[in-house]
């Protein structure tokens, strides 16, 4: 095999390993992010419930103020009744008192209903708060574990990145640049074997003349379809 291609295949082994470490770190972080998101959603639903309870409380206070207004109005009418002269006036006051009483009854019912709803919401909120307290603890634990795990992977990665740098020094700059470009565009695989005349990157047949040149192994040649750097893989071909 061409010496440069050999160096690149060795570099590719390292690069794939680095990519695997990166994927491990990413999946670790994704998992944690999902859990944080679920936690945040629960927190948001608690805040929503709290707002609902507060709004119901404000409404209840308003109704109670209206209720006490009605009581005052009734008292006022009742004292006026002592001084009325005509039956018409008397009937009119009586009607007003009846209306007030009717209003009071409605307000009282609404207050009871608001209190019942708030009570139910408070109960749900307490349950949710209990759950988040447990979840927060689990999440903190999980987060610390993920951080530790990521650091462990990072340490391994650092070692291998150092090795990569040392290896890359021995490779021609232009060749390396081409390899790196292919690597990013071709999902990490820049150098692939040719088995029975088929590129193992894109699985297309290599034209016979081109394949013959690859067989010679004296030059660096690329796949005419996917541009990956090709080498002949005799071991696999013989299988």
Question: CA nearest 188: which of 23, 28, 29?
Answer: 23
In the complex, minimum distance from the CB of residue 199 to Zn ion, in angstroms, rounded to a whole number: 3
Q: Of 91-99, 153-161, 174-182, 217-225, which segment contacts Zn ion by CB under 5 A?
A: 217-225
Q: Of 1-9, 91-99, 138-146, 220-228, which segment contacts Zn ion by CB under 5 A?
A: 220-228
Return the structure tokens found at 116. Answer: 């019942």
Question: Using alpha carbons only, what angle is made at residue 95 by residues 112 and 86, rounded to the nearest 5 degrees?
Answer: 155
Size of the site for Zn ion (CB under 5 A): 6
14 or 202, CB closer to Zn ion?
202
In the complex, minimum distance from the CB of residue 164 to Zn ion, in angstroms, rounded to a whole number: 24
Return the structure tokens found at 91. Answer: 């009937």
Residue 20 binding Zn ion, by CB under 5 A:
no
CB 59 within 8 A of CB 111: no
Residue 225 binding Zn ion, by CB under 5 A:
yes
Q: Of 6-14, 75-83, 104-112, 221-229, which segment contacts Zn ion by CB under 5 A?
A: 221-229
Return the structure tokens found at 213. Answer: 């040149």
220 or 226, CB closer to Zn ion?
226
Residue 214 binding Zn ion, by CB under 5 A:
no
Q: Exposed/middle/buried for 112, CB within 10 Å: 0-12, 13-18, 19+?
A: exposed
**Positions 182 through 201 that interact with Zn ion (CB under 5 A):** 199, 201
112 or 225, CB closer to Zn ion?
225
- DSSP class per residue in 67-108: HHHHHHHHHHHHHHHTT--SHHHHHHHHHHHHHHHHHHHHHH
Alpha carbon 139 to chain centroid distance?
Answer: 14
Q: What span, in angstroms and rounded, lies between the C-alpha atoms of 190 and 209? A: 22
In the complex, minimum distance from the CB of residue 205 to Zn ion, in angstroms, rounded to a whole number: 10
Axis crossing angle, helix 87-168 with helix 3-81, rounded to the nearest 10: 170
Q: Of 6-14, 34-42, 44-52, 224-232, which segment contacts Zn ion by CB under 5 A?
A: 224-232
Site string for Zn ion, 149-188 (x = CB under 5 A): ----------------------------------------
Q: What span, in angstroms and rounded, lies between the C-alpha atoms of 78 and 80? A: 5
90-93: long-range contacts, CB 8 A cutoff, minimum separation 24: none
In the complex, minimum distance from the CB of residue 200 to Zn ion, in angstroms, rounded to a whole number: 8
In the complex, minimum distance from the CB of residue 12 to Zn ion, in angstroms, rounded to a whole number: 15
Q: Of 17-25, 29-37, 138-146, 223-231, which segment contacts Zn ion by CB under 5 A?
A: 223-231
Binding site for Zn ion (CB under 5 A): 199, 201-202, 223, 225-226
């Amino acid at each position: 095999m061409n010496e440069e291609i050999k160096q690149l295949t060795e570099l590719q082994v390292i690069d794939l390993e680095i990519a695997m470490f990166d994927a491990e770190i990413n999946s670790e972080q994704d998992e944690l992010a999902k859990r944080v998101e679920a936690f945040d959603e629960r927190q948001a639903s608690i805040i929503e419930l709290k707002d609902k309870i507060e709004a119901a409380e404000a409404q209840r206070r308003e109704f109670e103020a209206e209720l006490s207004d009605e009581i005052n109005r009734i008292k006022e009418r009742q004292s006026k009744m002592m001084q009325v002269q005509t039956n018409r006036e008397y009937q009119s006051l009586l009607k007003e008192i009846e209306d007030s009483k009717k209003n009071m009854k409605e307000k009282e019912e609404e207050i009871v209903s608001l209190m019942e709803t708030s009570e139910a919401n408070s109960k749900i909120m307490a349950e949710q708060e209990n759950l988040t307290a447990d979840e927060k603890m689990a999440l903190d634990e999980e987060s610390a574990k993920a951080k530790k795990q990521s650091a462990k992977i990072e340490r391994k990665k650092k070692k291998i990145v150092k090795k990569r740098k040392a290896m890359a020094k021995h490779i021609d700059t232009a060749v390396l640049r081409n390899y790196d470009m292919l690597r990013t565009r071709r999902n990490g695989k820049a150098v692939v074997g040719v088995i029975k005349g088929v590129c193992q990157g894109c699985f297309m047949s290599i034209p016979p003349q081109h394949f013959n040149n690859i067989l010679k192994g004296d030059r660096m040649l690329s796949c005419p379809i996917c541009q990956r750097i090709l080498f002949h893989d005799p071991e696999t071909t013989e299988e």
